[in-house]
Homo-oligomer: A and B are copies of this chain.
């Protein structure tokens, strides 16, 4: 859906409305500045209030996709039940703190022993300011928010094969790089390289601009800048500042040194990012509090069947087999779990689900004195190493508290060769080695490690969808209903791995069901079309 030049704004909006369906036209109008952005409170969805009265919907899973589904269905008057295998809401939105047990499918159990008040978000840990659906819910549910520091100029980049393995501070890498690039371009322009391409006036402006952008000295050289840091900081009395000596461009070009250089510019990693005060799970717990006994915990689903009136879901609860009938079902189960659950999905849908593959993202987290704050002036943000578990993610919460939880390794298992086959102790050693590379002498300060490898986490068995069976066509099936069964969760969105995707897909499923209910009513049925 590329925007061709020359089509009118109205034309464009009409096309988007046709092609994008649910919400696309609205979002587009916002981005063209015709409407303010959302984010005050979560926008009501387009279905008419009360449309759900008398219709039963069962939601499978109480992660963000399931909770948003239930929350919006209830607003529209539906009779809703959420079945959740765990004894808590949130799914992957899971905050580890003192007493939390990380249970793996192989029977391993780690229990967190951190100081009261220290925590780590084992799943999602940041909300971009552009994820206004999630922020809208946070507002609506009165979840206190604070800044999640994703960008800081004091964090580090390290590569065994560059700069002698010595870490480079971001302010230096970022600003020396721009300085060198500016110098080279100014030199080219002054040598006449672009005389044929751009006007004399633009060339002059460009050179003037590069002088500020670099910044460059009078002779057009990048000779360092206070932006890149000081050797001697300005101080009292006669302590005048001395700038750092610029790094050689060779070092910056060496061995993909720029990997950690631009992460802050990825659209969904750009400042300002936010987090709930005290842990990301404050959001699902706020939803759960609002939903009350609509959510049934410790209730794993055992069968998903289609009936003449909709669906019949079998599950267990406290060891007792139970069954629940409903007109519609929204499934938010991870495909890794869904493929093992007996069901009546169409053969085509089964093939998509069976052929899907999950990512194996993981986090290793440690408790420690905040040496990164106290000794390095690093407050939040991420440092990167090129070899071994990466990045290191410093806490944004409880700034200046004596201790904190630091992540050393947040990546897919496949990204560090051999990681999957390591013992737990070896994984911890590899993670500690990353800290030691960035902060020599501080590896030994790390205590109480926790390894959360989502591949092995019970009820998930994977972090997020990596490939759909049947590829793009598989995805196109997932976003359609399979009879009375709808799919929600980040899996059913183009924002995989983000809560925003889960929330938007849930709202979309609720709208799709409401359209069906309305159509059924118009046809004289009681909210569900006959099979």
Instruction: List residues of A whose CB falls within 8 A of some B CB.
Output: 1-3, 16, 19-24, 27-28, 31-32, 36-37, 39-40, 129-130, 132, 135, 138-139, 144-147, 149, 151-154, 171, 174-175, 177-178, 181-182, 184-185, 187-189, 191, 193-194, 197, 202, 205-206, 209-210, 212-213, 226-227, 229-242, 244-245, 249-250, 252-253, 258, 261-262, 265-267, 270-272, 274, 371, 373-381, 396, 399-400, 476, 479, 492-495, 501, 504-505, 507-508
Q: A234-B493, A258-B209 known; A239 and B20 CB under 8 Å? A: yes
> Looking at the complex, which one of B233, B476, B508 makes contact with A236 (CB distance below 8 Å)?
B508
Asked whether B494 lies within 8 Å of A377 as measured between CB atoms, the reply is no
Report B-chain residues with C-beta under 8 Å of the C-beta of A236.
22-23, 479, 492-495, 501, 504-505, 507-508
Q: How far is the CB of A480 from chain B (nearest CB, A)?
A: 9
Q: A22-B239, A185-B181 known; A381 and B272 CB under 8 Å? A: yes
Report B-chain residues with C-beta under 8 Å of the C-beta of A492.
236-237
Asked whether A238 lies within 8 Å of B479 as measured between CB atoms, the reply is yes
CA distance A109 to B435 in the complex (A): 55
Q: How far is the CB of A188 from chain B (nearest CB, A)?
A: 4
Q: A235-B493, A236-B501 known; A226 and B266 CB under 8 Å? A: yes
Report B-chain residues with C-beta under 8 Å of the C-beta of A493.
234-237
Q: How far is the CB of A117 from chain B (nearest CB, A)?
A: 13
Report B-chain residues with C-beta under 8 Å of the C-beta of A371.
36
> Looking at the complex, which one of B129, B227, B240, B381 makes contact with A377 (CB distance below 8 Å)?
B129
Report B-chain residues with C-beta under 8 Å of the C-beta of A274.
379, 399
> Looking at the complex, which one of B31, B181, B188, B505 makes contact with A232 (CB distance below 8 Å)?
B31
Report B-chain residues with C-beta under 8 Å of the C-beta of A267.
171, 226-227, 229-230
Asked whether B152 lies within 8 Å of A234 as measured between CB atoms, the reply is no
Asked whether A212 lies within 8 Å of B479 as measured between CB atoms, the reply is no
Q: A154-B272, A242-B2, A271-B381 known; A376 and B36 CB under 8 Å? A: yes
Q: How far is the CB of A15 from chain B (nearest CB, A)?
A: 11
Report B-chain residues with C-beta under 8 Å of the C-beta of A373.
39
Asked whether B146 lies within 8 Å of A146 as measured between CB atoms, the reply is yes
Report B-chain residues with C-beta under 8 Å of the C-beta of A230.
31, 267
> Looking at the complex, which one of B145, B184, B375 makes contact with A36 (CB distance below 8 Å)?
B375
Q: How far is the CB of A320 from chain B (nearest CB, A)?
A: 35
Q: Across the interface, name the chain B residue whose C-beta is closest to A478.
A: B237
4 closest cross-chain pairs (CB), A and B: A36-B375, A193-B193, A188-B188, A234-B494
Asked whether B253 lies within 8 Å of A209 as measured between CB atoms, the reply is yes
Asked whether A130 lies within 8 Å of B145 as measured between CB atoms, the reply is no
Asked whether A374 lies within 8 Å of B39 as measured between CB atoms, the reply is yes
CA distance A376 to B39 in the complex (A): 8
Report B-chain residues with C-beta under 8 Å of the C-beta of A507.
236
Report B-chain residues with C-beta under 8 Å of the C-beta of A39.
373-375, 377
Asked whether A262 lies within 8 Å of B129 as measured between CB atoms, the reply is no
Report B-chain residues with C-beta under 8 Å of the C-beta of A130.
154, 233, 377
CA distance A249 to B203 in the complex (A): 11
Q: How far is the CB of A232 from chain B (nearest CB, A)?
A: 5
Asked whether B3 lies within 8 Å of A242 as measured between CB atoms, the reply is yes
Q: How far is the CB of A111 from chain B (nearest CB, A)?
A: 30
Asked whether B377 lies within 8 Å of A231 as measured between CB atoms, the reply is no
Q: How far is the CB of A271 from chain B (nearest CB, A)?
A: 5
Report B-chain residues with C-beta under 8 Å of the C-beta of A144.
400
Report B-chain residues with C-beta under 8 Å of the C-beta of A209.
252-253, 258
Q: List 25 A-B contacts (CB under 8 A).
A: A21-B238, A22-B237, A23-B235, A24-B239, A27-B239, A39-B377, A129-B152, A132-B377, A135-B377, A139-B400, A147-B399, A151-B271, A171-B267, A174-B265, A175-B265, A178-B178, A184-B188, A213-B258, A227-B262, A227-B265, A235-B495, A236-B508, A271-B271, A271-B381, A272-B379
CA distance A361 to B493 in the complex (A): 49
> Looking at the complex, which one of B27, B233, B242, B381 makes contact with A235 (CB distance below 8 Å)?
B27
